[in-house]
Structure 1
Amino acid sequence: MLPLKRIHFIGIGGVGMSAVAWVILKKRIPISGSDVQPNIQTARLEKEGVPVYYGHSPENVKDAGLIVVSSAIHEDNPELVQARNLKIPIWHRSDMLEEILSEGESITVAGTHGKTSTASMAALVLERAGLDPTFIIGGDLNELGGNARLGAGKYIVAEADESDGTFLSYHPQYAIVTNVEPDHLDFYKTADNVKNAFQKHLSNVCDKGCAILCADDPGLLSILEKDLKCQVLFYSARFMTADFFAGEINLHANGSAFTVFKERQELGQVRLSVPGRHNIINALSVIALGDKLGLSLEQMTPALREFKGAKRRFQLKGTYDGITVIDDYAHHPTEVATTLAGAIALRESKKGRIIAIFQPHRYTRTRDFHNEFAGAFKDADVVIITDIYPAGEKPISGVSGRMIYDGLVRNNHPNPIYVSNMDDICNTLISLIVPGDVIFTMGAGNIWKVGDRLLQRLTLAQPV
């Protein structure tokens, strides 16, 4: 039971924290928050009258009835220390999300990749079908104007983030799992621990619920060693024997078309406005979910076609004089390779080159996957590597973006470039881009700023 007294969110500007805070606010429970600096999420909350404090001070938790923190908040945070001194109850963000999920029929989307896009598609499909869902997502859903909303319907769609293991708190009625790969080894330490966590997540699905799983992913299939208590539905773009199959696939520069089969019976055709085979697979999981909830394919297809992607997921930032700038959150080798593969049709239509600008995210991920990153850029004609976005991590001796660049050189990539200072990338780009080029800024940090600066430079036609 949530207190009616003020709930204070430490780190309220985080995309996950702000989403949970938004839903609590709309339940008419007073909230406040603090963070290091303003951002889009804090501005949105402040516009609704939420007090947001910049900088962390013990005074900020005074008279709060409950404190909410995420794994990003350190134990010595002055507000957290003061809350303990005052014996104010402290919840993790996952505890609050589980409280919200318990109030309806919960739908979680988990997986190493594709969570945000898939959860966003699911929320939009349910919304356009008139089911008025609550949703809490790790990125802004452009069509619905934010990363969270409190709906009046019974369904609650949430992204289940595996990065710190807290997704094991959830007991969903419906669980989509997109894939399972080693990641977040700073927390899990081994690939087996990652697999064990996803195995436990699936065992937490309610007995009368349903797990919706991608049959195309070897990592996911490898954890299904024992029968689950819940119903299991498989979706696939490779195996017609899956419960839901995407066939007759046609990829093009700005989207795709495919035919949906359920138990080998044709249901109809779907058109997407987001490119790439991976988005077909994401959409198929949502179609399987909607079918389970009683929606027809005809009810789902308009929303699937309307979906233009979540923020920072293959997001078109702008075009100028035949040059296209796209931003993507890809920060794992598989995500990088998948995003660039999805751009091939776009490159062919533009008759230019794919130029990938990659900012590694975290020292630990760079250390653990630098060889895999070096092999992930085969579909890029030019690759610019910059230095690491630390995301709060301390530097590790010998670990830098140059490790990935050196790997590209060893792999004989034709055009690798290392620019250690992100602020210098625009000058490098101006010297080499030509009409027809498609430029990708990639990473989970602040690399998106490069695309914005480049478009501004091109538009203003400032000399180098």
Structure 2
Amino acid sequence: MHIHILGICGTFMGGVAALAREAGHKVTGCDAGVYPPMSDQLRALGIELIEGYDAGQVQLQPDMFVVGNVVSRARLADGSPKFPLMEAILDQGLPYTSGPQWLAEHVLQGRHVLAVAGTHGKTTTTSMLAWILESAGLTPGFLVGGVPLNFGVSARLGDVAPGQQRPLFVIEADEYDTAFFDKRSKFVHYRPRTAVLNNLEFDHADIFPDLAAIERQFQHLLRTVPASGRVVSNGLEEALARVLHQGCWSQVRSFGSAVSDFTAQGPHHAFAVLHAGQVVGQVQWGLSGEHNQLNALAAIAAAEHVGVPPATACAALADFQNVRRRMELRGTVAGIALYDDFAHHPTAIRTTLDGLRQQIGQQKRILAVFEPRSNTMKLGTMKAQLPWALKEADLAFCHTAGLDWDAAQALEPLGAAGLTADNIPTLVQQVMAAVQPNDTIVCMSNGGFGGVHTQLLAALAEKFSAQ
């Protein structure tokens, strides 16, 4: 089969492309501003990439056009379509489908799907679970919205392990909508036998009016899990309790709360895992923060459902290397460590900074450099939560380009510790004016952030080489 993917450079669609290529299909694709790292990965796989969405691409005559959710029926200021290729597909009655639906029909069919859903921690927990299964010799397939450092790729098909009835596939299960013609959450297509509900709070204000609307989508996910399946749910989350109360027809295993099936005792970097109150393993690793401890419990409980003993899972996590862009150390200059993190929601920012504070202590300063880039943050829906989110930062620097709301006003509760800049060079200058030896800088964005990490490292080297 020849598939042509619209929006191929996104992490999800790029993963679909890699899986299709590995399965032997011919894959081509297009995107606006074809960009690395996904463009590099795809070209390395021999996948032809086309810049833009011109209608002439229908001449490729693929068997199926696979449409990413970046595509819409939007019009430009002059009235012309933003995505001419999509208009040509519709006009000519050519076959098209969404990425999640193609994946469900051509990859997930016949596999034991382990899906990891939640507002936060999906990528990390999916990567943990895939690594646990890999360490146990189960050779899982996976699709992750990032690059797990243990694997070096975001997706692979996997294989059937000895003794397994069907191949395992671990997937990051996003609640965002599927495509402009399918407004259901992506995860409804995956039909998991093991479903992880990691946490749940309001997000995606561009498509969901309130938390109840997202809870309804999570309930739809539960309706697809068979009675022989397992739902692994965070026992600390009231929103998930409401979702389960609406109906659950599968085995439920909880984690996190004092009365949960899976709990933890000890500091976040070295803790005991308890199952039904009995110690079943020890985790000692380089990750920090309560959020990662909870992610670990979720992955351990999910792995147990496919036969991996908790002790084996705990041992595997000692070698877990995290995910690219999850507190990834990009460089150190004059004792100043610079990290890159994907945090793009107030709770994620708060969680990242809390974990960093626990790791480095109270004596070192934290400089938080962030941009409100997600659709929810751009709308300003959660701007009032930013001072709370940045509580552990000694200084906060906000990149304000593209915002329709006043970030300086939102950061007023931080006083002189909250600074704003509408361009990257000014942001770098502000950080350079404030930074001191042995500070810790953490850059937070769900995008490329204009290459600010590289610019900051270069500026640090220049400033401190002269001293």
Deviations 1:198-232 (A, max 9, x none): 12212221221110001012222232224411110
* Residue of structure 2 aligned with 1:439, choices 438, 441, 444: 441
Structure 1 match to 2:99: 93
Percent of aligned pairs with the same amino acid? 30
User: SS in structure 2 opposite 1:367?
Assistant: coil
Once residues 429 and 243 of structure 1 are traced to their aligned partners in structure 2, the CA distance between those partners, rounded to angstroms, is 45
In the TM superposition, 1:394-409 aligns within 5 A as: 399-400=404-405, 402-403=406-407, 405-409=408-412
Equivalent pair of 1:11/1:35 in contact (CA under 8 Å): yes
Structure 1 match to 2:320: 307
Query: 1:413 deviation in Å?
Result: 4.6
* Residue of structure 2 aligned with 1:48, choices 39, 45, 48: 45
Once residues 436 and 211 of structure 1 are traced to their aligned partners in structure 2, the CA distance between those partners, rounded to angstroms, is 44
Distance change >3 Å, CA 188–CA 64, structure 1 → 2: same
User: Amino acid of the residue matched to residue 260 of structure 2?
Assistant: A
Runs (5+) with no aligned partner, structure 1: 390-394
If the length of structure 1 is used for normalisation, what is the TM-score?
A: 0.91
Q: After the TM superposition, list the runs of 4 or more consecutive aligned residues in structure 1 that deviate by more than 4 angstroms.
A: 460-464
User: Amino acid of the residue matched to residue 51 of structure 2?
Assistant: Y
Q: Would you say 1:148 and 2:166 are equivalent positions?
A: no
Query: 1:243 deviation in Å?
Result: 0.8
Query: 1:47 deviation in Å?
Result: 1.4
Deviations 1:135-167 (A, max 9, x none): 001011111011111111300111111122232
* Residue of structure 1 aligned with 2:267, choices 250, 259, 269: 250
Equivalent pair of 1:178/1:282 in contact (CA under 8 Å): yes
User: Amino acid of the residue matched to residue 279 of structure 1?
Assistant: N
Equivalent pair of 2:194/2:232 in contact (CA under 8 Å): yes
Deviations 1:341-381 (A, max 9, x none): 101123328x3201111100246534211111232111111
User: SS in structure 1 opposite 2:217?
Assistant: helix
User: Amino acid of the residue matched to residue 140 of structure 1?
Assistant: V
Structure 2 match to 1:20: 16
Equivalent pair of 1:327/1:448 in contact (CA under 8 Å): no
Once residues 268 and 143 of structure 1 are traced to their aligned partners in structure 2, the CA distance between those partners, rounded to angstroms, is 21
Q: Would you say 1:215 and 2:235 are equivalent positions?
A: yes
Structure 1 match to 2:305: 292
Q: Which moved more, 1:22-31 or 1:50-59?
A: 50-59
* Residue of structure 2 aligned with 1:356, choices 352, 368, 393: 368
Q: Would you say 1:10 and 2:13 are equivalent positions?
A: no
Structure 1 match to 2:273: 260
Deviations 1:156-201 (A, max 9, x none): 1111111222322231100001111111121112221111111221
Aligned length in residues? 441
Once residues 363 and 212 of structure 1 are traced to their aligned partners in structure 2, the CA distance between those partners, rounded to angstroms, is 28
Once residues 345 and 88 of structure 1 are traced to their aligned partners in structure 2, the CA distance between those partners, rounded to angstroms, is 55
User: Amino acid of the residue matched to residue 311 of structure 1?
Assistant: R
Equivalent pair of 2:420/2:427 in contact (CA under 8 Å): no
Structure 1 match to 2:163: none
Distance change >3 Å, CA 289–CA 45, structure 1 → 2: same
User: Amino acid of the residue matched to residue 210 of structure 2?
Assistant: T
Query: 1:314 deviation in Å?
Result: 1.4
In the TM superposition, 1:47-446 aligns within 5 A as: 47-62=44-59, 63-75=61-73, 76=81, 77-99=83-105, 100-153=107-160, 154-164=167-177, 165-236=185-256, 238-239=257-258, 241-247=259-265, 249-251=266-268, 256-348=269-361, 351-362=363-374, 364-365=376-377, 366-388=379-401, 399-400=404-405, 402-403=406-407, 405-409=408-412, 411-413=413-415, 415-446=417-448
Equivalent pair of 2:282/2:315 in contact (CA under 8 Å): no
User: Amino acid of the residue matched to residue 315 of structure 1?
Assistant: E
Q: Which moved more, 1:280-289 or 1:40-49?
A: 40-49
User: SS in structure 1 opposite 2:145?
Assistant: strand
Q: Which moved more, 1:143-152 or 1:447-456?
A: 447-456
Query: 1:443 deviation in Å?
Result: 1.7
Equivalent pair of 1:101/1:156 in contact (CA under 8 Å): yes
User: SS in structure 2 opposite 1:207?
Assistant: coil
Once residues 169 and 13 of structure 2 are traced to their aligned partners in structure 1, the CA distance between those partners, rounded to angstroms, is 16
Query: 1:303 deviation in Å?
Result: 2.6
Once residues 225 and 367 of structure 1 are traced to their aligned partners in structure 2, the CA distance between those partners, rounded to angstroms, is 32
User: SS in structure 2 opposite 1:224?
Assistant: helix
Distance change >3 Å, CA 215–CA 143, structure 1 → 2: same
Once residues 426 and 25 of structure 1 are traced to their aligned partners in structure 2, the CA distance between those partners, rounded to angstroms, is 41
User: Amino acid of the residue matched to residue 9 of structure 1?
Assistant: I
Query: 1:448 deviation in Å?
Result: 6.9
Query: 1:388 deviation in Å?
Result: 4.6
Once residues 122 and 381 of structure 1 are traced to their aligned partners in structure 2, the CA distance between those partners, rounded to angstroms, is 34
Query: 1:307 deviation in Å?
Result: 1.5
User: SS in structure 2 opposite 1:142?
Assistant: coil
User: SS in structure 2 opposite 1:71?
Assistant: coil
Query: 1:308 deviation in Å?
Result: 2.1
User: SS in structure 1 opposite 2:422?
Assistant: coil
Equivalent pair of 2:143/2:171 in contact (CA under 8 Å): yes
Equivalent pair of 1:180/1:220 in contact (CA under 8 Å): yes
Deviations 1:300-336 (A, max 9, x none): 2343112121111111111111101111111111111
- For the aligned residue pairs, the C-alpha RMSD in angstroms reads 1.9
User: Amino acid of the residue matched to residue 43 of structure 2?
Assistant: E
Runs (5+) with no aligned partner, structure 2: 74-80, 161-166, 178-184
User: SS in structure 2 opposite 1:52?
Assistant: strand
Structure 1 match to 2:30: 34
Equivalent pair of 2:194/2:305 in contact (CA under 8 Å): no
Once residues 251 and 321 of structure 2 are traced to their aligned partners in structure 1, the CA distance between those partners, rounded to angstroms, is 31
User: Amino acid of the residue matched to residue 171 of structure 2?
Assistant: A
Structure 2 match to 1:392: none
User: SS in structure 2 opposite 1:175?
Assistant: strand
